[in-house]
């Protein structure tokens, strides 16, 4: 999938809420009839997101450090085809809020996006890891982490993503911290991770044999016509 199209699709998911559900186990601060209840249960069951001390804090805005950790956990899950057996939910037609790109993203919203995109991403990946991953020029080379302190809580996960070309130069994730993330930043981060993962899972195409060009014979020159008797007498 083209990266820009993937970003648009993820943006659409940020603005659409999944249907209500009543999971058996939920953190104490997530109501059974909450619109994101099923998504919260799924991300907690998979281990992609956590609920410290039994509280999910769904209204809290996601920070860059947290997004790095979530994207890295999701990448490992998808790489192992270890996502729970869920069905990809098609994106409904709908009008997206104009401010979705700049609006901060809550933990509820991030959980909803992950539960929508994960089964779709896994369905598009090969079942077996590539023997010789395709080093596509369409995926940027690993970015430098010189500007990131090794003492950063996000350094290890960021190193994992960078080494696998799942985060690209210019990404806000390369400047980790407690800054809130926006819808556009979440969409871009997930799109880059999925693109890099797809490259690692795809085998390098076999070389196409070069066909020799057929030899073309030069056109033959027609023999000169003999002069007529009148021309000879002239």
CA 16, distance to chain mean position in Å, is 19
Q: Is residue 83 part of a domain?
A: yes
> What domain range includes position 33?
3-201
Q: Is residue 86 part of a domain?
A: yes
pLDDT beyond 80 at 153: yes
Q: Is residue 228 part of a domain?
A: no
For the chain, the domain total comes to 1
Highest mean pLDDT out of 46-60, 191-205, 211-225 = 46-60
Q: What is the pLDDT of residues 121-145, one digit of tens each?
A: 888 887 776 677 666 778 899 999 9
| Cα distances (angstroms) measured from residue 74 to each of 44, 45, 77, 114, 124 | 12, 12, 5, 8, 15
Q: Is residue 216 part of a domain?
A: no
Between 192 and 220, the higher pLDDT residue:
192
Q: Tell me what percent of the residues of the chain surpass a pLDDT of 70.
A: 68
pLDDT beyond 70 at 222: no
- Distance between CA atoms of residues 107 and 41, nearest Å: 13
> Among the residues of 15-63, which ranges form H helices?
37-46
DSSP assignment letter at 60: S
Q: Is residue 221 part of a domain?
A: no
- Distance between CA atoms of residues 182 and 184, nearest Å: 5
Q: Is residue 217 part of a domain?
A: no
Between 198 and 10, the higher pLDDT residue:
198
Percent of the chain as helix, strand, coil, to the nearest 5: 40, 5, 55
């Amino acid at each position: 999938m083209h990266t820009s199209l993937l970003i648009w699709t993820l943006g659409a998911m940020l603005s659409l809420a999944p249907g209500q559900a009543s999971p058996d186990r939920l953190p104490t601060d997530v109501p059974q009839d909450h619109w994101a209840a099923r998504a919260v249960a799924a991300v907690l069951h998979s281990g992609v997101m956590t609920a410290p001390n039994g509280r999910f804090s769904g209204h809290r805005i996601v920070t860059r450090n947290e997004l790095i950790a979530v994207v890295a956990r999701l990448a490992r899950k998808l790489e192992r085809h270890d996502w729970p057996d869920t069905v990809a939910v098609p994106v409904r037609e709908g009008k997206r809020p104009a401010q979705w790109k700049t609006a901060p993203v809550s933990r509820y919203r991030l959980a909803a996006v992950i539960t929508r995109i994960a089964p779709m991403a896994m369905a598009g990946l090969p079942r077996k890891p590539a023997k010789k991953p395709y080093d596509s020029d369409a995926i940027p080379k690993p970015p430098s982490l010189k500007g990131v302190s090794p003492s950063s809580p996000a350094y290890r996960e960021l190193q994992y993503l960078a080494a696998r070309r799942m985060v690209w130069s210019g990404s806000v994730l390369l400047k980790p911290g407690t800054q809130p993330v926006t819808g556009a930043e979440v969409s871009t981060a997930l799109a880059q991770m999925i693109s890099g993962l797809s490259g690692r899972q795809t085998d390098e195409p076999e070389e196409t044999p070069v066909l020799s060009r057929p030899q073309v014979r030069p056109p033959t020159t027609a023999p000169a016509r003999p002069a007529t008797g009148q021309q000879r007498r002239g």
